[in-house]
Amino acid sequence: MNFKEVLAEVVDNVDGAVSAMIIASDGIPVEEHYSEKILDLSDLGAEASAMIKDIENAARELRLGDAREFSIISDLCGIVMRKINNDYYLGLVIKPDGNYGKGRFILKKAVPKLENEF
């Protein structure tokens, strides 16, 4: 299964999901899929790289181990990011009334499908 197929499957299986992407930890987008574009995924990638560094630093300082997932919920949408490996993340954008729990579950299931490709 290629990146595009995995991303499409993620979006299709989560109520309210509108886009998914794979980004490098430096913010560079690798692949994206969307059914509705409510935000620019390139901008998200750039901003997410700063958040990834901050969250990893906080987890290290608190001695929590690896931060595997984080989310931001706003008025416009929710964004859930799941770590694929040390260099790549899988992100999902969900509308406010979407199913965030299922989104987190589907991301967790999708990561093993992507791990072998990196």
For the chain, what are the domain ranges? 3-112
Residue 102 has pLDDT above 80, yes or no: yes
- Per-residue model confidence (pLDDT) at position 40: 81
CA 71 – CA 80 distance, rounded (Å) = 4
The pLDDT of residue 77: 93
Q: Tell me what the mean pLDDT of segment 31-60 comes to.
A: 86
pLDDT at 104: 96
47-91 tens-digit pLDDT: 888 888 888 889 899 999 888 899 999 999 999 999 999 899 999
pLDDT of 5 strictly over 80: yes
Residues ≥6 apart with Cβ < 8 Å to 3: 22, 30, 31, 114, 117
* pTM of the model as a whole: 0.89
Superfamily in which the 3-112 domain is placed by CATH: Dynein light chain 2a, cytoplasmic (3.30.450.30)
